[in-house]
Structure 1
């Protein structure tokens, strides 16, 4: 499983609000790619990547 697929699986199981914020898997995949690419400090590990996604969700107004 690649990094983005693993992040999407975690979102599906644990961050359903974020997983359901996208109507198609392709949009979710691109959003995660952008969130990781646009991070001020490149996330090194899995936990950092999830933290980066949560921060991007807040910045993008996806957090309720």
Structure 2
């Protein structure tokens, strides 16, 4: 498990703002439960990992907030 600052990636951040945005919009139209709160319990192992990861790491941009 990673701890500390996540390494920033310009390529991934651009991808998330362009292709990712379009992909999420399509998924929302096809699946009414996509992106809703509480649906993480469908995959409990992944939910627990993501929760721990978010608590133990921080973004480069969080330093400026």
**Which structure would you say has the larger RCO, counting Cα contacts within 8 Å and 6 or more residues apart?**
2
Larger Rg: 2
Bigger share in strand:
2
- Above 0.5 in TM-score? no
